[in-house]
Every structure is written in structure tokens, then in C-alpha cells.
Amino acid sequence: MTPIAIVGEAWGAEEAKRQAPFVGYSGMFLTQMLADAGINRSDCLLTNVFNLHPPGNDMEALCGPKPKSIPGYPGIKFKSTIKYIRAEFGPELDRLGEELIKADPNVVIALGGTAMWALLGKTGVSKFRGVAEISTHTATGFKVLPTYHPAAVTRQMTLRPTVILDLAKALRESEFPDLRRPKREVWIEPTLEDLHEFRRHIDGFVSIDIETSGHLITCVGLAPNPGLALVIPFVDSRRKGRSYWPTPADEREAWKFVAEVAEDPRVKKVFQNGLYDIAFLYRAMRIKVRGAVDDTMLLHHALQPEALKSLGYLGSLYTDEGAWKQMRERVTTIKRDE
């Protein structure tokens, strides 16, 4: 068994000449990034989706109309046009599947959009990079972690720290073959009784996050530990008047609960971009946060000053959650189980 398999797109000119993957300039760049992430290239299986050199290094040359494409695979976006890989190249996917089955890796690193397309049937690598998922195409059942192709990094060097961090995460994922998601309990659509019950779980520490729209706070999230969280909605477009709470008195009680937690100096708080949340809480509701001790955005900046800072980005690096920013597009209404 090879713990890590690395799948790229296709051969470049040098790869085609030597009939081997990642032996050109991109391969040299990949070797450096692997070393920075703590991965020895020689310990990995390296291959491509297509063991061929597309004319002019242009993957679009392998495409054709949908009726003549490989069944079961989505189109690939080239600039503003969706095109489909022609069915005549389907045997290349079969060959890739056989390689992965023989190597039986614990994790497959999909370098770039074509590799992600081949293994996960998805496009848009920037949306899914850094998040491990189980392969659904070509060779099913393998844990796949997508990131940017080294050729893309050579054109946009700001991607380099992200790829190295993704590779370091893949190294951690290579220790086991299964997909391990954290178990969390999230209270949604709460009642006032739920708020008072949840208060008993807050003992000395809580993370706070707010969502805003214009001058309004639409919801407040609280988490006293990694396994438990509460979402308190205030704006609900499904309800008349757009207020989640049935009466103004109930809404005042909910804000009173938020204020009691936020203003209690005995409860230490952590935020993501807390300067924004703390100021917004005061401007909108005159809630004065006390006991703020940490900020995940600033802590990440201290570790990786050249990397991005958004919560979704941090989640892709430091947690084993799925790509929740993409999940919400498939959800219309979530009901709390009674």
C-alpha cells in the first residue's frame, strides 16, 4: 500500500518526452512544496488523469459535444464555455482507476480541476480545495483531497502557501483510509426555554460569531466547546415581519440572553475577526463584550501571515468538516429534531 497518491492533469512536453509524470518545471515545483509540507515525493504514487500531452498543452483539445462525451462526468469550464471530455479518452480514466486500486492509498491528492473532475465529478477547485471527500468517479471509495495544480502556482505565487498547507493536511489524512468527520450537536430554531437550558453548558468559555445584513444582526452563534453550538436567529424571511421570534417581547428576551453571555467577564470569549463582531454588537444592540481573549483570524495570521483569513478558509485547513459553504446551496429549510 502507498499511503499517498498524487494525481495531476496530463503530461507536459517534458513528461511526454520522458513518459513520466511531474518531471518538468511543475514537477520540480511540486517536489519543493511536498518537502515543505513534510512529504517525501519518493514515498508517493505520482500519476495523471491523462497519460498524454494535449496539443498545445490545451485540455480543451480533448473536448467535444456532450453527446460524444464520457458518460457520467460533468462538463469542464473553459473561460465562459462548458465543454466535455470526449468518450475516446475514457480508457485513460480506466487506467487511472486501476493504478489507484493497485496502490490502495489512504489519501489521493487531486492536483487541479481536472483531477478533481475525474475523481469527484466536481468542478471549481477553489470551492472544494483542502476538504477531504470520498471519490465517486473513476475509482470509487478513496479519500480525495483537492488542491491547486503546481502549474497554477507557478502562474500565481500567492497560491503557494495554500497548497503547502493543503499538502500538510493530506499528510495527516494519510495516516488512515477512512473519512473522519467531527461529531457536533447544533441547536437550531431554538425557543426561549432552549436558550436558558443552553446557558447551563457555558462554563468559563464560549466562542461567538454573528451574521449581519446591512445594519442588522441576522443571527448569533455560540459554542462552549467543539462539540456543541447554538444558533439564535433574529431575521427569518419565511415569517411575517421577517422576525424569527413570535413577539417583540420574545425577541427582547433573546437579546437579553445574548447580552448576559457577551457581557459576563467571567466567561472568556473567542471570535473570528472579533474587531468587526464586537463593534457591530455594540453599534446595533449596545452590547458591550467583556472577556474577549482570542481571535482565530489573528492567531492564524500569526502562523501564516501570507495566507487567506476567511472562516471558510480556516475551516478547510484546521478542521475535518465538509465544504459547508457549498452545502448551504442545497438547503432551503432546516428543522430541528424534537
Instruction: Judge contact between 186 and 334, C-beta under 8 A.
Output: no
> Does the pLDDT of residue 338 top 60, yes or no?
no
Rounded distance between C-alpha atoms, residue 90 and residue 104, angstroms: 21
Label residue 43 exposed, middle or buried (CB < 10 Å: 0-12, 13-18, 19+). exposed
Which neighbouring-strand residues pair with 134? 143
Question: Which of 106, 162, 154, 157 has its CA nearest to residue 312?
Answer: 162
pLDDT surpassing 60 at residue 246: yes
Is residue 179 a part of any domain in this protein? no
Q: Are residues 194 and 123 in the same domain?
A: no
CATH of the domain at 66: 3.40.470.10
Residue 144 pLDDT more than 60?
yes
Taking only the tens place, the pLDDT of each residue in 82-119 is 999 999 999 999 999 999 999 999 999 999 999 999 99
Domain boundary among 141, 173, 205: 173
Residue 138 lies in a domain: yes
Mean pLDDT of the chain: 93
Q: Looking at the 3D structure of the chain, how many domains does it have?
A: 2
Whether residue 263 is predicted with pLDDT greater than 90 in this model: the reply is yes
User: pLDDT tens digit string along 300-328?
Assistant: 999 989 899 999 999 999 999 888 777 66
- Residue 203 and residue 107 share a domain: no
**In the structure grid, which three cell numbers stand for residue 66, read together?**
456532450
In a domain, 282, yes or no: yes
Does 310 lie in the same domain as 232? yes
In-domain check, residue 338: no
CATH number of the domain residue 324 falls in:
3.30.420.10
* pLDDT at site 106: 98
- Residue 335 covered by a domain: no
Asked whether residue 333 carries a pLDDT value surpassing 80, the answer given is no
Mean pLDDT of 181-209: 96
315 and 234 in a common domain: yes
pLDDT tens-digit profile of 276-292?
999 999 999 999 999 99
Confidence grade of residue 332 (pLDDT, cut at 50, 70, 90): very low
Q: Per the domain annotation, does 180 fall within a domain? A: no
Range of the domain at 35: 4-173
Dump pLDDT digits (tens) for 23-63.
999 999 999 999 999 999 999 999 999 999 999 889 999 99
In this structure, are 306 and 277 located in the same domain?
A: yes
- Provide the pLDDT for residue 336: 45
Residues 118, 215, single domain; the answer is no
pLDDT in tens, 67-85: 999 999 999 988 788 999 9
Choosing from 136, 152, 173, the residue where a domain stops is 173
* Claim to verify: residue 71 and residue 209 sit in the same structural domain: no
Q: What is the mean pLDDT of residues 204-217?
A: 96
pLDDT score of 281: 98
Q: Are residues 193 and 296 in the same domain?
A: yes
pLDDT digits (tens, 9 = 90+) for 159-170: 999 999 999 999
| Same-domain check for residues 24 and 159 | yes
Phi, psi of 6 (to 5 degrees): -120, 120
**What is residue 123's predicted lDDT score, i.e. its pLDDT?**
92
**Which of the listed residues 129, 148, 173 is the one where a domain comes to its end?**
173
pLDDT score, position 162: 96
259 found inside a domain: yes
Q: 336 lies in a domain?
A: no
pLDDT of residue 329: 55
Q: pTM of the predicted model, to two decimals? A: 0.88
Region for residue 124 given its phi and psi (left: phi exceeds 0; alpha: psi -120 to 50; beta: otherwise): left
Do 156 and 198 fall into the same domain?
no
